[in-house]
Amino acid sequence: MDGAWLLTVLDGSFSEIYIVDCTTRRFIHVNESAQENLQYTMTQLEVMSPLDIAPELTEASLKKILHPLREGITDRVTFQTVHRRRDGSTYPIEFRLFRSPEHTTPVFIAIGNDISQHQAAAVALQLSELRYQAIVSNIPGLVYQFLRRSNDNIEFTYVSDRCEDLLGITANELKNNPDLFLDLIMNEDRVSYLESMQFSAQQLLTWNWKGRIWIEAWQDIKWIDIRATPSAMPDGTVVWDGVITNITQTKLEEIEAKRSSERLAELSAHIQQVKEQERMRIAREVHDDLGGNLTAIKMALTLVKRRVAEEDTVMIEKVNYIDTLADRTIESVHRIAGDLRPSILDFGIVAAIEWQSQEFKRQMGIPCNFSSTDEDIELNADQATALFRVFQEALTNISKHAHATQVNVNLKRIKNSITLDIADNGRGMEQSDRLKPQSFGIRGMMERVGSLGGKLSITASPSAGSLISIQIPLN
């Protein structure tokens, strides 16, 4: 009864179980799981031994496996081998081998499990690891995993091999002493680094930080870019997976480009200033010299007209013609001088903007309403001239492109700045219009405003056209 019950238990097991005669090495019993997997019946297996179903096993290797059990060194042995089915296919199997107690029939009991899936999973994991390493090795930066615990302790749980190339310290050094990374960051940039980390941890948003590190071994400063994705653990720990890249070259080029842009802006502002000064000089000379000469001519013509006999109608007509020509020339002189440097600017920016608004209405026939919060706003000569020129250019653009029937201009002082809003009800201005290669008017306006430390924006107007808003700080 006990033997039958034991065989029932063995046959009900999902593991392969073999009972082997110690002397003959023949199978005494093979459970149903093993028979099914091997594709042999028990009758067929009774005349077979482990060497018949395990092609990798030899008499010598089997003897070596059994030796610790025979000598009583251990009560069990674990080993792996390969079984061959009746159809020739094979599968890996792992065995635990036991020897029966001395007072019973001397047999070996082998309990085995097919490890095909386990090995396949191990191979897949290895391939995945190789793919990961291949990807990491080709990423132009340091791949890392960083965590901050609830007590603010930090730890680098993973650091790729590029650590030393980027930071001048090995991956093991960084993992053993995580504070080394903070020590690398230059003092001026540490606050922003810690603040960006705190913000990312609180909001669980991508951690994006750019800053400088000092590599003592190389006596060199590098710019780095941190991009990492956070995730929160139940215990309050925040884990970031990300990449640290060396952006030194890009940053230096960016700084140099910014410096070049600033130098160009300074040059442009200087050229504009020189141009305005030259315009002012020419306007003064035109007004004073030409105006004075023309006035003298007018006076001389008056004397000539008095001395010409009344009956000399031909001469009188010539004198009158010359007088009329002198008047027209004087008007031209005033107009040219005004274009070069409007004398209205001497009365202040409010009066100048209001005058130009009325001139635009008179010349273009488009209503141009002006309003101001102050009767006068104090500006230095450069600020007043630049703002006036930008206003003129804005009106020129409206007259050429907007197809507007109404323009509203508002000048106001807000605390320590002056704002000029120019709104029209025209067709509006698209973003593409501002990016056209030949849009020098808008670029010139932006450069003039920028040279004064101000801002110029172009948005949609409430009246369906465009709104040009200019803000300039007051010195």
Quickly tell me which residue has 């059994």 as its tokens.
66
What pLDDT, on the 0 to 100 scale, is given for residue 1?
39
Question: Using CA atoms, how far apart are residues 333 and 290, in angstroms rounded to an integer?
Answer: 7
Provide, rounded to the nearest whole percent, the portion of the chain with pLDDT above 70: 86
Question: Using CA atoms, how far apart are residues 149 and 153, in angstroms rounded to an integer?
Answer: 5
Class of domain 139-246: alpha beta
Report CA torsion sign: 93, 99, 100, 106. Answer: positive
pTM: 0.47
Q: Is the pLDDT of residue 433 over 90?
A: no
Provide, rounded to the nearest whole percent, the portion of the chain with pLDDT above 90: 36
Between the alpha carbon of residue 190 and those of residues 147, 186, 209, 228, 357, the distances in Å are: 18, 6, 11, 17, 53
Q: Is the pLDDT of residue 38 over 80?
A: yes
Least confident of 55-64, 295-304, 423-432: 423-432
Domain covering 2-120 assigned CATH 3.40.50.720 in the classification = no
What pLDDT, on the 0 to 100 scale, is given for residue 136?
57
> E strands of 123-252, at which residues?
142-148, 154-159, 207-215, 220-232, 238-246
Instruction: Summarize pLDDT for 148-202 with one digit per residue, the tens.
Output: 998 889 999 999 888 888 899 999 999 999 999 999 999 999 999 999 999 999 9
Instruction: Summarize pLDDT for 66-101 with one digit per residue, the tens.
Output: 888 888 888 889 999 999 999 999 999 999 998 876
Question: Using CA atoms, how far apart are residues 66 and 59, in angstroms rounded to an integer?
Answer: 11
CA 274 to centroid of chain Cα atoms: 40
CA dihedral 346, 350, 351, 354 (to 10 degrees): 140
Nearest to 29 by CA among 14, 8, 2, 58: 8
Instruction: Summarize pLDDT for 317-372 with one digit per residue, the tens.
Output: 888 888 888 888 878 877 776 667 677 778 888 998 999 899 899 989 999 999 99
Q: What are phi and psi of 89, to 5 degrees?
A: -75, 160
Residues 345-473, CATH architecture:
2-Layer Sandwich (3.30)
What pLDDT, on the 0 to 100 scale, is given for residue 135?
60
